[in-house]
Amino acid sequence: MKDKIYVSTRNSSETASASEAVTRGLAPDGGLYVPTFIDDVRFDLNALKDLSYPELAKAVLSEFLDFTPEQIDACIEGAYQSGRFDIDSLVRTVPTSFGGILELHHGPTAAFKDMALTILPFLMTTAAKNCGEDRNIAILTATSGDTGKAALEGFKDVPGTKILVYYPKDGVSPVQEAQMNTTGGANTRVIGVDGNFDDTQTGVKQIFGDTALADSISQAGWTFSSANSINIGRLLPQIVYYFYSYFDLVRQGRIELGDLVNFSVPTGNFGDILAGYYAKLTGLPVNRLICASNSNNVLTDFFESGQYDRNRDFYRTISPSMDILISSNLERLLFDKLGRDSESVVQLMDRLSEEGVYSADRGLFPEFYAGFADEAETKAVIRRVYDTEAELIDPHTAVAEKVREDYAAQTEDATPTIVLSTASPYKFARPVYEAVFGDAPFGTDDFEIQDSLYDGTHRVIPEPLTGLRDKEIRHSGVCAPDGMADAAAAFLTEE
């Protein structure tokens, strides 16, 4: 086994240890860290198949991190064994006619982001210690809704850290906004940005590239890092549930160990599905990874034509966590598929930032299928799954299910397929209610609709979402995209 060395997608000689990669978030040259050693990692399915989720997480993370076994145990215990999930198994795969629905939303904020963001603060503080970083860590996060709350809960009151979340002011659901703006903790701040998610994410990346700002906050004892999926420490924990769900299907007698499965993944920033790709690279028998988008279908076009073109209308949809036109983690896939040649990646990323367009050979991605669902299709699927599988799914999950159906119809591939369910339907109660019951009564707010949805379906409202409306609003700041850096500087220098 070689050393666990990571390189930047934009400069192959820009190397970092695992601990350095997790501490920094983004590489100094603006690239994303990727493991150089992934071809040497090969998980033994037989050895892993009966492990609990925390045990499996230990097996997976040990291969990718330079932590001691005791350090890994402590991270896993803090995140996964401290009673923060509402089911003992942490995740579960509900059997369906086509394979299963993998529920990833049983954590403290009722979204799949919890799978990684409950553990990231432990990984980051451990990594910082390992590489002798003695400055405090300022987490900057751009969110399309779910990352923000999950990161706030993860880093809230963690010593030696502050967390600042930026969200597109009119681009998240009312429940998501209430979840974020009611967050307590002495080290948290939430700011609405007058722009969309791409403006917000670009603003955060610019702050990371601002060396003058980095110097001035460093003098005040701070260094920036990221809780977005550009941080490899966000991605690695997500590999675990692909394996876990596969073993669920084995346990359910649906497949034999070694059989192929497909995964259908509701995709925004391409982090979740990239973790599935890493699972495949490291030995999980995956046939196809189905990349499901909403009307912001830049990835569908990319996988079909090879051309990535962000110059298009931006839609606000009922699956807002996927309202993204610049999918950051695609850069990691490109790096892998272009022979791990950073110069080719730089050329494409320069074209993306200058012209908004680049092209790659569409034949490079045989293990991916891509499709999208519009708003009406998404709602129709929520209704159909409720009627036929008795499952109440959220709009993001519905997008993945719709594209799975299209894939099955188009290819006649009968491989069992696991649809990733990424959020509780109660986070998006209005569209879910409307899908199942028709128009919501005039004048009702989103919290009243949660109650109506409960009355109609008797599905339990997750604990983190109850009582939100009565909580005190603690954050209400707003800034323009070009005011984001000043807001960060102010937050870090105040007492």
Ligand X SMILES: *Cc1c(COP(=O)(O)O)cnc(C)c1O
Nearer to ligand X, 57 or 485 (CB): 57
User: Quick check: 210 and 140 in contact, CB under 8 A?
Assistant: no
Nearer to ligand X, 67 or 368 (CB): 368
Taking Cα atoms as reference points, which of 325, 226, 331, 198 lies closest to residue 274? 331
Residue from 35, 107, 195, 271 touching ligand X (CB under 6 A): that is 271
**By rule CB under 6 A, what count of residues binds ligand X?**
16
Residue from 34, 61, 101, 111 touching ligand X (CB under 6 A): that is 111
**Per CB under 6 A, does 109 bind ligand X?**
no
Least CB distance from residue 427 to ligand X, whole Å? Answer: 7
**Per CB under 6 A, does 268 bind ligand X?**
yes
Least CB distance from residue 369 to ligand X, whole Å? Answer: 16
Q: Which stretch binds ligand X (CB under 6 A): 179-187, 270-278, 299-307, 409-417?
A: 270-278
Task: Tell me, yes or no, if 156 is annotated catalytic.
Answer: no
**Per CB under 6 A, does 332 bind ligand X?**
no
Least CB distance from residue 273 to ligand X, whole Å? Answer: 6
Nearer to ligand X, 103 or 146 (CB): 146
Nearer to ligand X, 71 or 118 (CB): 118
| Three-state helix/strand/coil letters over 16-85 | EEHHHHHHHCECCCCCEEEECCHHHCCCCHHHHCCCCHHHHHHHHHHHHCCCCHHHHHHHHHHHHCCCCC
How far is C-alpha 387 from the chain's CA centre?
A: 29
From the number of C-beta atoms within 10 Å of its C-beta (0-12, 13-18, 19+), residue 351 rates as middle
Using CA of residue 146, residue 321, residue 429, residue 392, what is the dihedral sign? negative
User: Quick check: 141 and 129 in contact, CB under 8 A?
Assistant: no
Nearer to ligand X, 66 or 394 (CB): 394
Q: Of the residues 4, 49, 58, 113, which is catalytic? A: 113
From the number of C-beta atoms within 10 Å of its C-beta (0-12, 13-18, 19+), residue 340 rates as middle
**Per CB under 6 A, does 481 bind ligand X?**
no
CA angle 65, 86, 245 (to 5 degrees): 55
* Strand order through the sheet with 5-8: 11-17, 5-8, 33-35
> Tokens 């990594």 sit at which residue?
127
Nearer to ligand X, 109 or 161 (CB): 109
Least CB distance from residue 296 to ligand X, whole Å? Answer: 11
Residues 360-419 that bind ligand X (CB under 6 A): 396
State the Cα–Cα distance between residues 258 and 241, nearest whole angstrom.
Answer: 17
Cα–Cα distance list, 51 to 156, 241, 243, 422, 455 (Å) = 30, 12, 10, 23, 38
**Per CB under 6 A, does 272 bind ligand X?**
yes
Least CB distance from residue 334 to ligand X, whole Å? Answer: 15
Q: Which stretch binds ligand X (CB under 6 A): 5-13, 70-78, 129-137, 267-275?
A: 267-275
**Per CB under 6 A, does 322 bind ligand X?**
yes
Classify 446 in phi/psi space as left (phi over 0), alpha (psi -120 to 50) or beta: alpha
Nearer to ligand X, 102 or 250 (CB): 102
Residues 416-435 that bind ligand X (CB under 6 A): 422-423
Rounded to a whole number of angstroms, the distance between the first and last alpha carbons of the chain is 46
**Per CB under 6 A, does 234 bind ligand X?**
no
From the number of C-beta atoms within 10 Å of its C-beta (0-12, 13-18, 19+), residue 279 rates as buried
User: Quick check: 406 and 419 in contact, CB under 8 A?
Assistant: no
3-state helix, strand, coil in the chain (%, to 5): 45, 20, 35
Residues 14-53 that bind ligand X (CB under 6 A): none
Q: Which stretch binds ligand X (CB under 6 A): 13-21, 46-54, 262-270, 281-289?
A: 262-270
Residue from 270, 277, 278, 365 touching ligand X (CB under 6 A): that is 270
**Per CB under 6 A, does 143 bind ligand X?**
no
**The two three-digit tokens of residue 394, written as one number:** 């959220």
- Residues designated as active site: 113
Residues in contact with ligand X by the rule CB under 6 A: 111, 113, 146, 229, 266-272, 321-322, 396, 422-423
